[in-house]
Chain A
C-alpha cells in the first residue's frame, strides 16, 4: 500500500499543484465578467442606456457611439435568463437609467436555460458577477473552484491568450468588444449554414423567455424605463439558412410585446443598411458595422424619447 500511495503521489502532486495554479489564474486575472461587474458599478450615476444580450450586442453595440452615457453588460452566449438576473441585480442602482436594449436573436426566445455547452458560464456569473442563479448546489465542487469549471482546452486557450496579450479582458470600460475587419474563414456561405444549424434548437416554445421579457418590461414600466427590443443584423447567408417560419413567429412575438406601453421593437435582421463587409463573421458585426448599428439605435432611442 505504501509503495502504491508513494507512486500515486508522483501523479497527484503535479495535478494538485497544476490545479492550484489554475485556480489562482482564474481568481487573480481580470476577465470580461470581472471587468463588466466592476465598470457597471462605475456607471450607476450617469448611465442612461443599458445594453443587455449576447455576443451580437457585445460586438455590435458600442456605448461610445450613443449620445447619452450607456453601458454594455452583454456577454458571449448570455441568454435572457442571465439578462433578467443582471437587470434585476443592477436596475435599482442606476440613478438616471432611461432605456434598456434587449436583443432578440433567432435563438433568444426558444433557448433552453441550461445548454450543456454553456453550463460552465453559470459558475462565472455566480462567482464573478455576484449573481444568484439558484442552479448550483452547495455540494457542487465547481462552485468552489473555477479551475474545475471550463473544459481544460478552454483553460489552455485562455492561458495562451493571456501569455500573448497580457490580459483576458476583451471589452472596453463601457463593455463593448471590438472586432476589426472581415474574417473570411468565418464569414462565408458554408460557415453561415453551420452557424445557423448550430443556432437551431428545433423549438418554437417561447413561453419561458417571453415571460422573462414580460417581467423585465413590467419592472421597467414601474420605473419609467423604455424597453427597446432589437433583432440585430446578420449576413444574408446566415439569414437565408434559418427557418423562416420560426423567424416569422419570433418577429410576431416581438411585435406583440411592442404593443405594451414603453416597449419598442426594431428589426434589423435583414436590414439593407448592412452589407456583408460590415460583419466580422456570419452573424457578428465588426467595428464598422457596430458603429453603424449603434448610431442607428441611438437615433431610434432619441426619436422615441422625444
Chain B
C-alpha cells in the first residue's frame, strides 16, 4: 500500500476517523487500534513478513528488559552483543546472503577451486533495514541507560511497527517516540494542518517530481550507450532529483500522516541540495540514518577524539557501511567509498581553509557539492560497476559539450524548485507557508499544488528506498 495510492487514500481516513472518534477515550485502545492498523498496513505488502516483524519485536522487547535487569556490565554487554547479532543476522540473511555467496564463489575460484554453492531467491521484507536499525538503536540505548526499557509490549510493538514510518523510516529513537505513544494524545490543530501540508508536499515531490523524473531516467538509462555525454550528465542530475523527490516525498507523507494522528516524527531532510559541502549534506540528507550511523557506529569507534588517523578510519567504516546498507552490490560499496573519500578530503580542506564564507563562495560550493554528489549517484543507480564506468566514459567524452537530448523545460523547473527551497530554507519544509497571512493566498497555493499533482502525475513508480 503506497502512500500515493488510492488504497491508502481509503485506509488512512478510516484510521483517522476511528482513531479520533471511536478509540479516543482510552489510550490503550487507541494504541491497540494503531497497532492493528499498522500490522494491516504492513501485511498489505506481504503478510508473511509480518511474522518476521513480530519476531523482531518480541526478541528486542525481551532483550531490552533482560539488559536492564542485569547490573554487571559484562552481562549487559553480552546480551547487547547477542541482540545485535540476532538483528544483524536477520538483516544479513535477507539482504546479503546471495551477495555473500556469489562473492565467496568468485574469491574461491581465484585460487582455482570451484565452489558448488547456490544462491536462493530471497524476497527482501519491506522496511527490514529501517526497523532493524530502530531495534538496534533501542537495545543499545537501553544498554547505555540512555532510555528506560519499555515494559508494555503493546507500546513497544507500536514503536517498531508504527505504520507511517515502518516501511522507510524515519528511523526513530525510543526517547523520542515512546513518550508520544505513552501519553494521551489530544488533537492538535496546528500540527494537523502542518500534517496536511506535508502530505500535500510529499505527494507533489513523489508524484510530480520523482515519478516524472523517473520516467525520463529509465528511458535514458535503458539505452545509455547510445546517448551523448551531455545527455547522460543531465540525466544523472535528473536522477538526483528523482531520488530526492522520492525519498523526501515519502518522508513528508509519513510525517504528515503521523502528525494527523498527533505524532511528531524526526525530520529526515533539511534541503539537502542546498548543502555547501559533504559534511553539510549528511547533516541534511536522511538525517535519522546519518544520526544513527553517528551514534551507533562512529562514536563507539572513537569518532574524532582519538586522532586524525583514527577519525579517517572511522569515517571510512561509517560510509562504506552506509553504502552497503543501501544494497548488496559492489556499486553501493563504491558509492560509500566515494562519500568517505569526499568527507575525509573535506576534513583536511576545512582545517586548511579558514576564510569566512561569502555568498558567491557558498553558491559555488553548493553547485560543486551537488555536482559531485550527482556524479557519485551514477554508482547508486547502476546495475553493476562495469555499467557505471561505461556511463562515466560517455559522460567524460567530447560529447559532454554537445546539446543534451533532454527537456530543458524540465531541468528549468527542477532548478526552479530548488530555488523555492532556497527561499524557504529557514522553514521546516517547503510548504511551511504559515507566514502568509492571507488565507485565500494559502488556499490558492494548496489548490495549485493539488491540481498539479492531479495533472502532472506521471506513471506511478515504486518508492526507490523501499528496496533498502
A141 contacts B by Cβ under 8 Å: yes
Contact B7 A152 (CB under 8 A): no
Contacts of A248 in B (CB 8 A): none
Contacts of A166 in B (CB 8 A): none
B446 contacts A by Cβ under 8 Å: yes
| Nearest Cβ on chain B to A109's Cβ, whole angstroms | 20
Contacts of A1 in B (CB 8 A): 20, 187, 189
A89 contacts B by Cβ under 8 Å: no
Contact B460 A141 (CB under 8 A): no
| Nearest Cβ on chain B to A185's Cβ, whole angstroms | 16
Contacts of A10 in B (CB 8 A): 443
Contacts of A3 in B (CB 8 A): 189
Contacts of B193 in A (CB 8 A): 4, 7
CA distance A11 to B443 in the complex (A): 9
| Nearest Cβ on chain A to B240's Cβ, whole angstroms | 23
Chain A 144-172 interface mask (CB, 8 Å, partner B; 1/0): 00001001110010000000000000000
Contact B196 A8 (CB under 8 A): yes
Chain A residue, CB-CB nearest to B7? A141
B409 contacts A by Cβ under 8 Å: no
Contact of B6 among A141, A153, A156 (CB under 8 A): A141
Contacts of A8 in B (CB 8 A): 196
Contact A4 B187 (CB under 8 A): yes
CA distance A80 to B65 in the complex (A): 60
Contacts of B7 in A (CB 8 A): 141
Interface members, chain A 1-54 (any B CB < 8 Å): 1, 3-4, 7-8, 10-11, 15
Chain A residue, CB-CB nearest to B196? A8
Interface SS, B side: helix
Contacts of A11 in B (CB 8 A): 446-447, 450
- The segment from B45-53, B250-258, B312-320, B451-459 that touches chain A is B451-459
Chain A residue, CB-CB nearest to B446? A11
CA distance A11 to B453 in the complex (A): 14
Chain B residue, CB-CB nearest to A151? B457
Contact of B457 among A116, A152, A202 (CB under 8 A): A152
| Nearest Cβ on chain A to B453's Cβ, whole angstroms | 8
Contacts of B10 in A (CB 8 A): 141
B177 contacts A by Cβ under 8 Å: no
A205 contacts B by Cβ under 8 Å: no
The size of the chain A interface, using a CB distance under 8 A, is 19
CA distance A142 to B7 in the complex (A): 10
A197 contacts B by Cβ under 8 Å: yes
Contact A4 B456 (CB under 8 A): no
Contact A197 B457 (CB under 8 A): no
CA distance A116 to B455 in the complex (A): 18
Contact A152 B455 (CB under 8 A): yes
Chain A 85-98 interface mask (CB, 8 Å, partner B; 1/0): 00000000000000
Contact A4 B450 (CB under 8 A): no
Contact of A197 among B196, B223, B454 (CB under 8 A): B223
Contacts of B455 in A (CB 8 A): 152-153, 156
B334 contacts A by Cβ under 8 Å: no
CA distance A141 to B9 in the complex (A): 10
| Nearest Cβ on chain B to A194's Cβ, whole angstroms | 9
Contact B189 A4 (CB under 8 A): yes
A117 contacts B by Cβ under 8 Å: yes
Chain B residue, CB-CB nearest to A193? B226
Given A4-B189, A141-B6, do A152 and B454 touch, yes or no (CB 8 Å)? yes
Contacts of B36 in A (CB 8 A): none
CA distance A282 to B158 in the complex (A): 57
Contact B459 A153 (CB under 8 A): no
| Nearest Cβ on chain B to A16's Cβ, whole angstroms | 12
CA distance A4 to B446 in the complex (A): 15
B192 contacts A by Cβ under 8 Å: yes
Chain B residue, CB-CB nearest to A155? B454
Interface members, chain B 15-67 (any A CB < 8 Å): 20
Sample of 9 more A-B contacts, CB < 8 Å, known A151-B457, A153-B457: A4-B187, A10-B443, A11-B447, A11-B450, A116-B459, A141-B6, A153-B456, A197-B223, A202-B222
A-B pairs, 10 with minimum CB distance: A152-B454, A1-B187, A141-B6, A4-B192, A153-B455, A152-B455, A4-B189, A151-B457, A116-B459, A117-B459
Q: Which residues of A contact B (CB under 8 A)?
A: 1, 3-4, 7-8, 10-11, 15, 116-117, 141-142, 148, 151-153, 156, 197, 202
